[in-house]
Amino acid sequence: MTIKLGKNDYQKEVIEKTILLLESKYDLILEITDDNYIVVSTGSKISKELFLKELLYNDLRYQIAQKTNTIKKLIVGRALYDSCIRLEQK
């Protein structure tokens, strides 16, 4: 199986995460070409549909993480702020 993805279609981190998740079962190889493509190939029996499904899931997770990053920082900051030691002013 060989899948040719445009570099602008998915973030490189999303493709790498998908490969890491599937590499325990399938031997996947990532190749970056000079003509703005990322090629994922394997000699294993993995369907193109399975890889693309996992890729879409990871892309969705990535987009949600990007959109909720600010609120996560605010929540953690507020939680840590309440647990800080307060010094009395004299």
Which DSSP string do the residues of 43-82 spell out, in sequence order? SS---HHHHHHHHHHHHHHHHHHHHHHHHHHHHHHHHHHH
Would you state the pLDDT for residue 36? Answer: 84
- Identify whether 64 is part of a domain: yes
Question: What is the pTM for the complete model shown?
Answer: 0.75
- Identify whether 87 is part of a domain: no
Burial of residue 11, with CB atoms counted within 10 A of its CB: 0-12 exposed, 13-18 middle, 19 or more buried: middle
- Identify whether 88 is part of a domain: no
Would you state the pLDDT for residue 53? Answer: 95
Q: Which residues of the chain have pLDDT under 70?
A: 82-90
**Structural domain span for residue 37:** 2-82
Would you state the pLDDT for residue 87? Answer: 62
Would you state the pLDDT for residue 84? Answer: 66
- Identify whether 38 is part of a domain: yes
- Identify whether 55 is part of a domain: yes
Number of folded domains that form the chain: 1
Would you state the pLDDT for residue 89? Answer: 64
- Identify whether 89 is part of a domain: no
